[in-house]
Amino acid sequence: MDEKKNMRADVLGRRDALDAETRTRKSAAICRELERLVEEACAPDAGACGACAPDRNSAEADRLGPAHGVRAYRNLGRPPCVAVYAAMRSEVDLQAFAESAFARGWDVCFPCMVRDEADGQGPGRMAFYRVPGARLDHARAAFLNHPLRCLPCAALADAGYEEAAPADLDAVAVPLVAFDDEGNRLGYGGGNYDRLLPRLRADALVVGVAFDEQRVPAVPCEPHDRPLARIVHA
């Protein structure tokens, strides 16, 4: 645990040290690549292993399994449903990708910490909510600008936000603190995405996003940690 804690502190320090111009430029490049991957993955003729093939050999793809985007994509017959996040501090900013997704008519979902009980008590969990482009500013005030606030599901429903089940998600952009060349990721320690990934469809495209400065020689792993088949970085 100390090894992970120390790595988080070191890598977050490097990420925070990036100037705003560099973060903006790198985020834009990551957004362009993410858009390309989703567009190709969800195209009617995406092919056998097209855009979702990992950057490693087939044996490694077999080891990682289908939950990490190594299976073929079929025509969805509807706009893709993509899961993004609202950047905190010095994270990769996916705003440009979200805006492009809105313009293309894609279904865009953002995470929120929620409790199922109406009184706001009980255990919290991360859920994704559909946010139309016209309601993005409202969503920022309602929950996006307060990522650590845990809200009752009923309150979000009353505000007009619909929860997307993990099986609804065609593509998920995963934030991370650190990554290595084997696809291992170090998160913030809450385990939210570790719990989400096994619940996604086998053909869901899962893409980690990070800056080059977040790369490390090796991420310390535990049995529950799940590597990613693809990490887009710049």
Q: What is the pLDDT of residue 148?
A: 86
Q: What is the pLDDT of residue 114?
A: 96
Predicted TM-score of the model (pTM): 0.85
Q: What is the C-alpha R_g of the chain?
A: 17
Residue spans of the chain under pLDDT 50: 46-74
User: What pLDDT, on a 0 to 100 scale, did the predictor assign at position 151?
Assistant: 94
Instruction: Tell me what pLDDT residue 120 has.
Output: 58
Q: What is the pLDDT of residues 181-214, one digit of tens each?
A: 999 999 999 999 999 999 999 999 999 999 999 9
- Residues in contact with 3: Cβ distance below 8 Å, sequence separation at least 6, in sequence order: 220
User: Are 184 and 219 a contacting pair, CB within 8 Å?
Assistant: yes
Q: In terms of Cα–Cα distance, which of 139, 153, 11 is closest to 84?
A: 139
In SS3 terms, the chain reads as CHHHHHHHHHHHHHHHCCCHHHHHHHHHHHHHHHHHHHHHHCCCCCCCCCCCCCCCCHHHHHHHCHHHCCCCCCCCCCCCEEECCCCCCCCCCCHHHHHHHHHHCCEEEEEEEEECCCCCCCCEEEEEEECCHHHHHHHHHHHHCCCCCEEEHHHHHHCCCEEECHHHCCEEEEECCEECCCCCEECCCCCHHHHHHHHCCCCCEEEEEECHHHECCCCCCCCCCCCCCCEEEC
